[in-house]
Structure 1
Amino acid sequence: MTILHQTIPYDFTPRALPGIQPVTEPWLRVDEAYAGQMARRCDLLGTRADKVLYLEPQAHAAAVELLEVVLDLLPDLGFAQAGEGVTCPDGRHVTVGRANPLETLGRLVQCDFVLLDKRGAEHVLTGAVLCFPASWRLDEKAGRPLVAIHDPVASYDENIAKRVQRLFDGIQAGRPLWRFNALWYDDPELHQPRSVTEPRHKREGAGYFRSERQTLIRLPHSGTVVFAIHTYVLRAEDVTRQAMSMTICG
């Protein structure tokens, strides 16, 4: 099943890394691809849970804290809550499971979530629900620090790594930040894991544009930094149309 957006709700003109901006509107979103993306997420959580979920025992409390944060935001997004049950905008009923908080999150909202905790001088990936990876694999990054997570991204050099670590250190609870990336793919499939040992393919003339709205949030109690990823995939012609519209309006 091909799951596509018609537009991206932000200006995706490339910016210099790390390209961070303050969040000025609600960071958690439900959009026109919700039903399709959630069907794909539920399928992956049901059939490939070992590939899309990771949680270290010491990060469980932070994952529950994140779940509570998200639950508080759901009523404004078209969800109905009754006790320990949530009715989603697509009509599904999800039972809130705090024993498996990341799986519950994965069944509720379109975002993927990555938990990063400070250990020593660096933040380390301690948990994630990652249904829609963009050319990386959770099992290769789990438990690793930021620099290792981004290896072998050529543009993520030592200077950028230090800037990003300072950025993570400075994130304040209640003041989320966001950035986006922009990638071209031949295949619109949302679940795109790729091992670091697999070659990168050149994608000139690729038919699909993929962009992740990546929000950085610090949880107020645990202090864990959350990397929330909302994925958009568009046909190339729709990207061209939106880019032209932004140029004209600008």
Structure 2
Amino acid sequence: MQPEAICQHGLPARPWADARLNRLPGVLPVAEGDWLLVDEVYAAQMALRERLLAAKGDAVLRASPGAIAACAELLDAVLADALTRPGFVAEGGVVRCPDGRRVPLDRERPLETAARLVQEDLVVLERPDGADEHIITAASLCFPASWTLGEKFLKPLTRVHRPVAEYEGDIAKRVQRLFDGLQPGRPIWRMNYLIYSDPALFQPRTEADKRPPASGSARWLRMERQGMRRLPESGAVVFSIHTFVIPLERLSDADRNALSASKPVG
């Protein structure tokens, strides 16, 4: 599905050098207009996303019947953001994208339509009445970093983060409080980073399937800018994931040394 590596040219942030980001949960407010990003590999990532959406079915796109309203609201939010950016133009019932694609505004399939517009994977989480935690009720997940939508769909946050060792006890409670406290119009973001031996964006793995350790000279830094935003009408939380893959050889000596001395944040 992916004939060559799709890599950005530079770092989106340096979380290993920023005490605010290099811890859990390590969140910061999103600057005005920075909820979703468009970078230099937009065309390449979107071409891969289109192929995955066509070929992988519910491995990359799922929505529960109860999440339809939240998905429709998400599409409206994505459109409102995208149409402020260069290269996105609404033409009747179609959006022309920066890479020249024309995406029909199919409101019968709002999550898929949103996924075809932006680089971010989009995960919708809702907290059912009486539940202790938010659960994943819908998601477009074309660029999974060692997890599968099949295992996490309709599961609560603590189950979603299995088998992340750091996500226990106090951290789990803090993250749930963070989700509960999100206010419409005040999104937040965090950054995670791990070293991978394979630059592929589509890397699904079950909980039992361990990620192979990075070794040798072919190593890549995989970073995720994870946004969290509450939708005002449905109350759902949108967890957005913008994935960056950067060859370690492109990093400066100072960044490589600082990275090797740090503990990756997942």
Aligned to 2:82: 74
Q: How many Å apart are 1:196 and its aligned residue?
A: 0.6
Q: CA RMSD in A?
A: 1.8
Q: 1:48 aligns with which of 49, 56, 80?
A: 56
State how far apart, in whole Å, the 2-side matches of 1:121 and 1:157 are. 15
Aligned to 2:98: 89
Q: 1:18 aligns with which of 5, 25, 32?
A: 25
Pairing 1:28–2:28 present: no
Pairing 1:190–2:193 present: no
Q: In the TM superposition, what whole-angstrom CA distance separates every residue of 1:41-100 from its partner, at most 9, and x where no partner exists? A: 000001112210010001011001010011111222220101210000000100011111
State how far apart, in whole Å, the 2-side matches of 1:49 and 1:198 are. 21
Q: In the TM superposition, what whole-angstrom CA distance separates every residue of 1:105-157 from its partner, at most 9, and x where no partner exists? A: 11111000000001211100100000000000000000000000001101111
- Look up the SS of the partner of 2:251 in the other structure: helix
**Which runs of 5 or more structure 1 residues have no equivalent in the other structure?**
none
Q: 2:178 aligns with which of 167, 172, 195?
A: 167
Q: How many Å apart are 1:204 and its aligned residue?
A: 4.4
State how far apart, in whole Å, the 1-side matches of 2:138 and 2:255 are. 36
TM-score w.r.t. structure 2 length?
0.89
Pairing 1:3–2:9 present: no
- Look up the SS of the partner of 2:83 in the other structure: helix
Aligned to 2:262: none
TM-score w.r.t. structure 1 length?
0.94
Structure 1 stretches (4+) deviating beyond 4 angstroms?
A: none
Q: 2:150 aligns with which of 133, 136, 139?
A: 139
- Look up the SS of the partner of 2:240 in the other structure: strand
Aligned to 1:156: 167
**Which runs of 5 or more structure 2 residues have no equivalent in the other structure?**
260-266
Pairing 1:115–2:127 present: no
